[in-house]
Chains A and B, each alone.
Chain A
Amino acid sequence: MSKPEASHRHKVGALLFRHETILLLVLLAEWFYFNAVGRKFGTLDNTFDIMRHSAEIGLLALVMTPIILTGGIDLSVGSLLGLCAILFGKLWRDAGLPLPLAAACTLLIGLLAGGLNAVLIARLRLPALIVTLGTYSLFRGFAEAITRGVDTFTNFPDSFLALGQQHFAGLPTQVWFFLAVAVGIWLLVHRTTFGRSLRAIGFAPEGARYAGLAVERRLAQAYILAGIVAALAAIIYTARLGQAKADAGTGYELFAITAVVLGGTSIFGGVGSVHGTLLGVAAIAVLNNGLVHARQPREMAGMLTGALLLAALSASALPKLLAKFRPLRHSAAPPSSP
C-alpha cells in the first residue's frame, strides 16, 4: 500500500487496492484450475517446487520494486547475477577462499556493481534505462570474458548445495532467505522514511529535493541494494543448480519487471507495493509450474504471462481513462523542464 493505513479509501489507494485484489483472484483462479487439471499440483511437494524455482527471480523482483518506485529501472540485475555466480565460483575454486568468505566477497562485488549504476544514475543524473542497458552488456560481457565462454564452476561441497536443494525447518532453504529479504524490503518500502522518500522521488524528483530529502543518497541506496540482492540470488542460483555458468540469469530482469508491473506498481514511479510484487511473482510462478502439470508446452507460459501483463495494465488504465481525459504519458525519463 502506498500510504500508511488509510482510515478511509481515497482515489489512489482504492485503485491500488482494487488492482491487488484482482491479482489475488487471478492467483486463486490459477491455483484451482491447475489443481483440478494436474493430479499432483496441489501437493506440498509441488508448492515447495514453485517456491524453490521462483526464489532467485523473486529476489530480483523484490529489489526491482524500490527502483521502479523512484521512476527508475534496472536492466542489469540478470547479467549481474551471472557475473556474481562466475566470480563466486572463481573465488572458491581458483582463489581457494572458503565458501562463506567467497560468498561475502561476492556480496561485496554485487554492492560495487550496484554502486556503478548508483553513481551514474544518482550522482550524474543519467537516464536509468540507458545506464542499466550499458551495465547489462558490461556485466554479461565480463562474465563471458572471465570464463572465455568455456569455464564453469562445479562440484561444490554438499553442505553448500544444501542451500539450494535441501530443506530447512520444513521449507526449502533458499525460501528462508527469500522470506527474510521480502520482509526486509516490505518494511523498508512501507514502514520507513527510505520507502517514503522513494515514493516522493518517484512522484516529483525536484519536489523531493526542495523538501529536503537526500534524493541522491536514496537513489544510490536503491541501486546498491539491487546489486547486493542480485549477488545473493547468484549464490542461491549456484547452490540450486550445483554449477556457475556465464549465461546464468539471462532474461531474469525482464521477468522481474513483469512481476513488479503485474503487481500494480506503476512504471512511472510513486504508486506501488511490495506485496503487489509478491503476488505478481506468485502468479507467474504458479502459471509456469501449473502448465507443466497440465501437460501444456513451455511456450504457453510465456504467452499467458504476456497476456496477463497486458490485461492487468489495461484493467488499471481503463477506469482512469474513462474518469477523465488524460494527457499522453511518456515512457522514459520524466518531462525535461522547459
Chain B
Amino acid sequence: MKRLFSLALCASLALLSACNKSPESGSSTGSGAKKLTIALMPKSKGNAYFISCKAGADEAAKDLGVELLFDGPTEPDPAKQNEIIENWITLGVDVIAAACENKEGISTALKKAREKGIKVVTYDSDANPNSRDFFINQATPQGIAQTLMDEAARLTDSEGEFAIITASLTAANMNEWRKNIEARLAEKYPKMKLVDTKPCDDLKDKAQAEATNLLSANPNLKLIMAICSPAVPGAAEAVKQAGKTGAVKVIGLGLPSENRKYVREGVTQSVVLWKTKDLGYLTIKAAADLANGKLKPGAKEFDAGKLGTLKIEGDSIVLGQPFIFNDSNIDQFDF
C-alpha cells in the first residue's frame, strides 16, 4: 500500500513539472503593443518611506498606461528579495525597478534578469553598476551628505561630538552617504567628532533604545544624525525622554509626516529629504522610456515629463537636490 503511495507521489510530481503549459519562456521583449509590465520593489514592505514612493509610482503608471507590480519581502532578508526578482523573471515582466537592501546579494538576481532581456533600473539605493541599466538617484550621495553635514555644523556651531544612527551597517546607499559625510567632516569641520554609528534595522523602537544608550554613554553628545526614516522619530523620542530637547540636536533623512510633531516641539531641528512621490514617478517614467527605447545608455539628459528635464551623470538620473524641512515649512507637505 505504501509503495503504491510513493509511486503515485513521484508520478504526480513528474507530471506537474513536465506539463509546462506554454513553451515560450524568458521575457516578452518583442511583443510590441502589449501593455508594459513594470515591477517595483521596495527595500522592505514595512517602511512608510516606500509607501510614499509608491504613490508617485502609481500616478506615473496611470499616466503612462503601464501595469505596475509592487511587492517586496516583509522582513529584511536579502534572500527573499532575490526570490521575488527571480519569480518576476519567470513571470516575464518588462522592467524591474528595485531599491537594494544590500548591493552584492541583489546584483546576482538583477544580472540574471538582464541576461533574460529584462531592463533593470535601481532607485533609492544602487546595486553593482554592471547589474542594472540606470540608477534613479534621489540626490547625489555627495549632495545628501553635504546637506546633512552642513546642517549639523550649522546647528552645533561646527564643534563637538555627534553620532549617526543608520538602518543597517550593510545598507548600500547608507554606507555611500556615511563615506561622503566623513569626507565632508574631515574636509570642513575639524572640530566636530563622529563618536559612534549604531544600526536600528529600520525599527523605530530599536532606534529609540540605541539613541538612549548613545546619550548616556556619551554625556557631551551635541547632535544625533539619523539617516534612515524610522530612526528620526525614534532618536527624537529618546532625546525628549532624556530631557535633552534642544541640548542635543536631532536631524536626519525622514518623511515630514512622521516628524512634524517633533519638529514643531523643537526636538528635531531639521529633516532632510526629497519629494519621495517624485522619486517614485521618475523611477516608473525612466523604466517605461527604457523599455520602449526612448531612454538609451549614454544619454546626457532625460525628459521626465511633468518633472521637467533632468541631468544624467554617467548612468544615474538625479532627481534634484535634497530639500530641508524645518518648523518654518514642514506644514506645507503632506507626504
Contact = CB atoms under 8 A, between A and B. Distances in A.
Interface of A: 1, 3, 5-6, 9, 13, 17, 20, 24, 28, 31, 35, 38-47, 49, 52-53, 149-150, 152, 154-155, 161, 165, 237, 240-243, 245, 247-248, 250-251, 275, 279, 282, 288-289, 292-293, 295, 297-299, 302
B104 A42 contact: no
Given A24-B9, A245-B105, A299-B74, A240 B79 contact: yes
Of listed B74, B91, B105, B199, residue having the most chain A CB within 10 A? B91
B71 interface: yes
Contact of A6 (B1, B22, B79): B1
A49 B90 contact: yes
B170 A152 contact: yes
B20 A245 contact: no
Q: Name the 8 nearest CB pairs between A and B, nearest first.
A: A154-B104, A42-B21, A1-B2, A242-B108, A292-B87, A150-B169, A243-B105, A43-B20
Contacts of B71: 292, 297-298
A147 to B, nearest CB: 9
Given A17-B5, A243-B104, A43 B90 contact: yes
A251 B75 CA distance: 10
Interface of B: 1-3, 5-6, 8-9, 12-13, 16-17, 19-23, 25, 45, 69, 71-79, 82-84, 86-88, 90-92, 102, 104-105, 107-108, 112, 168-170, 199
B112 A165 contact: yes
Nearest to A301: B74
Of listed B1, B19, B71, B88, residue having the most chain A CB within 10 A? B1
19 contacts: A6-B2, A39-B91, A39-B92, A40-B91, A40-B92, A42-B22, A44-B17, A47-B17, A49-B86, A150-B170, A152-B102, A152-B170, A165-B108, A240-B108, A245-B78, A279-B9, A297-B45, A298-B45, A298-B74
B73 A241 contact: no
Given A35-B21, A47-B17, A241 B1 contact: no
Contacts of B45: 297-299
A20 B4 CA distance: 13
Contacts of A5: 1-3
A49 B87 contact: yes
B75 A42 contact: no
A125 B128 CA distance: 50
B104 A46 contact: no
Contacts of B21: 35, 39, 41-43
B212 to A, nearest CB: 18
Nearest to A248: B79
Given A17-B5, A47-B17, A38 B91 contact: yes
A28 B15 CA distance: 11
Contacts of B87: 46, 49, 289, 292-293
Given A53-B86, A248-B79, A275-B9, A295 B199 contact: no
Contacts of B112: 165
Contact of A149 (B8, B84, B90, B199): B199
Nearest to B201: A247
A250 B75 contact: yes
A242 B5 contact: no
Contacts of A20: 5
Contacts of B8: 24
Nearest to A155: B104
Contacts of B1: 5-6, 9, 13, 17
B108 A161 contact: yes
A145 to B, nearest CB: 14
A130 B101 CA distance: 33
Contacts of B73: 298
A9 B102 CA distance: 53
Given A1-B2, A165-B108, A243-B105, A39 B22 contact: yes
A24 B20 CA distance: 20
Contact of B105 (A44, A242, A288, A298): A242
A302 B86 contact: no
Nearest to B112: A165
Contact of B78 (A41, A241, A293): A241
Nearest to B116: A45
A292 B91 CA distance: 8
A41 B22 CA distance: 10
Contacts of A282: 13
B12 to A, nearest CB: 7
Contacts of B3: 5
A235 to B, nearest CB: 14
A245 B16 CA distance: 35
A255 to B, nearest CB: 11
B90 A46 contact: yes
A37 B84 CA distance: 17
Contacts of A154: 104-105
A216 B63 CA distance: 68
Nearest to A5: B2
Contacts of A241: 78-79, 82, 105, 108
Contacts of A9: 1
Contacts of B169: 149-150
Contacts of B25: 40, 43-45
B127 to A, nearest CB: 12
Contact of A298 (B23, B72, B170): B72
B69 A247 contact: no
Nearest to A296: B71
Given A45-B90, A279-B9, 8 more contacts: A3-B2, A40-B25, A43-B25, A43-B90, A165-B108, A243-B105, A245-B105, A295-B69
